[in-house]
Amino acid sequence: MSRLDSFIRRLEAQRRMLDWAAAESAGRPGLVLELGLGNGRTYDHLREILPGRDIHVFERDVSPNPHSMPPAGRLVIGDMAETLPAFALRHGRGAALIHVDVTTGVPERDRVLFAWLPEHVAGLAAPDALVLSGWDLDHPALTPVALPEGVPAGRYYAYRRVG
């Protein structure tokens, strides 16, 4: 499969995952966290499908499409290795939905480069929170859950925070 095909499939899976997560999160109070603003595409989709939800976005190098800039007070700028634990001190385990879109595009590299991330994600997730990620997160408090129909295993990952 060409990298273009692979990229398109990843984006299709991402949209399916976000739509599914929005439906799953309806009626569950809590923050929505977007880890990795980038161009702002998935943030833009999240705010469209989750109107009225409090969405906080984390990014080190802020340069999204101007139409996808989060409002003041909802963008946390800096290295997530530092901003996530600081956010947890203020908000505790207050997130109902966390989308991890921090990736180099190479899952094997991500697991090493972002080995510190699953602990911070688990530390922000409310009991039963849904966590989505483009690569597999290894943490004892994050239990894998079945993917929505149409998303092949290994293309995206979903977890629930236990306890």
Ligand X SMILES: C[S@@+](CC[C@H](N)C(=O)[O-])C[C@H]1O[C@@H](n2cnc3c(N)ncnc32)[C@H](O)[C@@H]1O
Q: Which range touches ligand X (CB under 6 A), out of 1-9, 23-31, 57-65, 155-163?
A: 57-65
CB closer to ligand X, 101 vs 159: 101
For ligand X, which residue has the nearest CB? 38
* 71 CB burial (10 A radius; 0-12, 13-18, 19+): exposed
* Total residue length of the chain: 163
Residue list 5-44, contact with ligand X (CB under 6 A): 36, 38-42
Residue list 139-158, contact with ligand X (CB under 6 A): none
Among 128, 97, 107, which residue's Cα sits nearest to residue 35? 97
| Candidate list 1, 5, 61, 73; residue touching ligand X; CB under 6 A | 61
Count of residues interacting with ligand X (CB under 6 A): 16
Q: Please name the helix (run of DSSP H) or strand (run of DSSP E) that holds residue 60, with its range, or none.
A: none
Sign, CA torsion 81/41/54/122: negative
Q: Which range touches ligand X (CB under 6 A), out of 16-24, 53-61, 124-132, 152-160?
A: 53-61
Among 111, 115, 114, 120, which residue's Cα sits nearest to residue 141? 120
Q: Does 110 interact with ligand X (rule: CB under 6 A)? A: no
Interface positions with ligand X (CB under 6 A): 36, 38-42, 58-61, 79-81, 101-103
